[in-house]
A and B are shown apart, each in its own frame.
Chain A
Amino acid sequence: MSTAMEGKKKDSRKQSSGAAFQWLSGIVLTIGGLFFLLPFFWMITSSFKPEGEIVQIPPTFWPESFTMHNFTYLFNNMKFDVYFKNTLIIVLFSYIGLLLNALAGFGFAKYDFKGRNALFVLVLATMMIPSQVTMIPVYLILNSLGLTNTMTGIVLPGLVGAFAIFLFRQFMSTIPTELLEATRLDGASEYRIFAQIVLPITKPILAVQAILTFIGGWNSFLWPLIIANDESLYTLSVGLSLLKGQYAANFGLQMAGATFMVVPVILLFTYFQKHIIENFSISGMK
């Protein structure tokens, strides 16, 4: 299917977008891309340098004395298995949140019910709250629910988010109402409509959201630390932040940790963009 569409795309664009334009935009994107990749490249090469070389003057471009020490230290000194497991649990739970967000977005986009606009404004308002100010109240609420030092307490506050609801609503509003009406006339329940019509159409946004959700869970940091009174609940990010000493920066270790945390995201993203965004791009939309 992918190649078929690829061919079609090429055909339809051939006349209008000439080779010159393709080359030009390719060059522009390459130059910009190099700039975007540069810090990244630096992070990875640094993780293979000994600490002394990282702070050397002038900096070395490529590791002069290549070392795996930073990585071995990480794996020997951190309970990576525990942190990794916790991080995965958080990510999995946040996917439940993703579904809830999609449901709410659909509710706001395609139904006219009493108080809809007021409720939606309320949802939007939560996005505008500076998170610095709610941290202690949220903590107190969780504490009074007896949820501190539990995985539930870590996951619950971030489960749903206005940004995602807003994004879903925004894109689900573009689904033609006639399409839903037609299905409704066929006797489908609202829930079936959501599962069988709406979700498939929303796949590009679902993919975007899925990635965002993953990254959010993957990098979740301050909250797990605040809630956890036990290191068995720490996530990878919290573990990594332990590496920074009070006085010594331990750049090499931090770089190795950051590299380690970014690689899975790259793999995941490469996979997602290949298989989801492209294949399902326009199905269902006329």
Chain B
Amino acid sequence: MKGFLNKQAPYIFIAPTLILLTLFSIVPILVALVISFTDMDLGGLANFNSISFIGFENYVEVLKDPVFMKAIYNTIFYVVIGVPLVILFSLAIALLINLGTSRIFKAFRVVYYLPSVTNIVAVAVVWNYLYNPTLGLFNYLLNLVGLPDVPWLTEPTIAKLSLILLALWKAVGLNMIIFIAALQGIPKSYYEAAQLDGANTWQQVTRITIPMLRFAIFFVSITTMIGWLQFFEEPFVMTQGGPLDGTLSVALFIYQNGFKFNNFGYAAAGSFVLFVCIIAITLVQLKLQKNESDMT
């Protein structure tokens, strides 16, 4: 018996999680897949008999929808600018904190981490104030140094950048912690050896730290990428997608169609377009990672 249990160990390790994930993620997404081929609305939710299958109509419609296209464009904008910034900032801050020797550097961990744990309602209220065109702190500071006001949330492109800034503020802490945990995992002996060879800090960082962080960087870039492709909370609480749909993300588009307008079929079709895109992008990333690790 014990031998059997031992042999089956990997399956027993993963079984509970897989069962739960199947029940609460895989099955629901399959149900949603079915819904995406129907005209389900609020009436359909109340009475399943009134739902009818309409084939690919939702998909054809959603891909023709200029608002959806705008949402895709915005989401790509968020990802292309947001993801590298998050990785860069969280890695840089983690490195600086880790290299610091004074006690104060430990306090910085808490400081940079705080935004990640702050209630989103408070975040929205505070940042709306910072971006406020009349009383906002940001415009006040700009005026102090003689610069004109910036339309933080009222010009479509700038509004996107403003939301990225906010998301960056919120996201850096979590990824920084992951990097710090990974940095702590690098054996000290490596540095000691390098120091004996006369390597300076910069060389130690580029030759030892960064390569040793490959796993962490890979992890952070994949999860950050996925997170930004599903960018939702910031436009939801700050702009509701405006101005002129300038900050509307695909996830927010799905939410609005599903829960505001009760077009469940249409929203489900939109989410599958997003889902497929995320899978494709992640597969490319995984492939790149594999090639890289083959080389090294």
Contacts and interface: CB of A to CB of B under 8 A. Distances in A.
B219 interface: yes
Contact of B275 (A128, A171, A282): A128
Contacts of B121: 240-241, 244, 254, 257-258
A269 to B, nearest CB: 6
Nearest to B189: A286
B113 A269 contact: yes
Contacts of B178: 167, 208
A132 interface: yes
Interface stretch (A65-73, A77-85, A96-104): A96-104
A134 to B, nearest CB: 4
Interface in A4-34: 8-10, 12-13, 15-17, 21-22, 25-26, 28-29, 32-33
B3 to A, nearest CB: 10
Interface stretch (B66-74, B95-103, B143-151): B95-103
B111 A119 contact: no
A202 to B, nearest CB: 10
Contacts of B282: 124, 128
Given A17-B101, A36-B169, A130 B16 contact: no
A35 to B, nearest CB: 8
B83 to A, nearest CB: 15
A246 interface: no
Nearest to B108: A29
A239 to B, nearest CB: 12
Interface in A236-286: 237, 240-241, 244, 249, 251, 254-255, 257-259, 261-262, 265-266, 269-270, 273-274, 277-278, 281-282, 285-286
B46 interface: no
Interface stretch (A38-46, A86-94, A227-235): A38-46
B195 A12 contact: yes
Nearest to B25: A126
A13 B105 CA distance: 15
Main secondary structure of the interface of B (DSSP, over half): helix
Contacts of A108: 14
A55 B233 CA distance: 24
A25 B185 contact: no
A124 to B, nearest CB: 7
A189 B6 contact: yes
Interface in A98-137: 100-101, 103-104, 106-108, 111, 113, 116, 119, 122-134, 136-137
B18 A40 contact: no
B119 A156 contact: no
A212 interface: yes
Contact of B13 (A43, A104, A215): A104
A28 B127 contact: no
B263 interface: no
Interface in B1-15: 2, 5-6, 9-11, 13-14
Nearest to A167: B219
B20 A159 contact: yes
7 contacts: A36-B169, A104-B18, A107-B11, A116-B10, A240-B119, A282-B187, A282-B188
Interface of B: 2, 5-6, 9-11, 13-14, 16-18, 20-21, 23-29, 31-32, 35, 45, 93, 96-97, 99-102, 104-106, 108-123, 125-127, 129-130, 134-135, 137, 169, 172, 174, 177-178, 180-182, 184-189, 191-192, 195, 199-201, 204, 215-216, 218-219, 222-223, 226, 229-230, 232, 250-251, 254-255, 258-259, 264, 267-268, 271, 274-275, 278-279, 282
